[in-house]
Amino acid sequence: MLGQTYEEMNDLVGHLFNETKYNKILRPLQNQSNKIQVNCTKYLKSVEYFDITTGEALISAFFEISWKDEYLTWDPSRYGGKESIQLPKGKFWKPEFELMNGRRNDAFSFNSNGVFPAWVEYNGDVIMVLGGTYDTRCDVDTTLYPFDIHHCNINIIVSNYGANELIINSPSSNIDELEDNDEWVIKSLNTANSLIQEKRI
């Protein structure tokens, strides 16, 4: 089994976060004319609260964010076979996500909702996990009551870059292992336009 020494890990951290070579303000692309691709996979856990009169909802979810950092790469054979490390907070580039349709009509930063882990593989693949409980608003339609269907949107954007610099992809979404709710059940989760559909039974 491969193991690493303190000196090897110290050298690796120094190699990755050398301030003369790595600038966390810049998108981690050699060609700055290219758009950076960011993948966002949503995992919906539960509906904590839903007010049918106002459309206000409280949803528990987490998001797996991934991208390629062309400057956080190394040769594992030079560092005791180490193939991945947890990234130190505040030391690396990351997209800043905001929820735009909160029930209080204000932008909410996902990044301020706690401390979240991030890892990087030796080839530059970064994975960051954001999670928590989020306020949002739903389109209420009671036409088919008591079998009514309501559409709840989680509209998220990257606030620190425009569409000419960054592209958000939603490769998949997941509603497995949902926690039970006495009144509501989530039937489907649509990745297009960050839509979450909610159905009452």
Strand intervals (E) in 51-165: 56-68, 84-86, 97-99, 108-109, 118-121, 125-139, 149-153, 156-158
φ and ψ of 10, to 5 deg = -65, -40
What's the CA dihedral at 170, 94, 138, 176 to 10 degrees?
Answer: 50
Tens-digit pLDDT profile for residues 93-110 = 999 887 776 655 444 555
Predicted TM-score (pTM) of the model is 0.79
pLDDT in tens, the chain (201 residues): 467 899 999 999 999 998 888 999 999 999 999 999 999 888 877 778 778 778 787 888 888 899 999 999 999 999 999 999 999 988 999 998 877 766 554 445 555 444 578 999 999 999 998 887 877 777 776 665 666 677 777 777 788 888 899 998 876 555 555 555 566 666 655 544 333 333 333
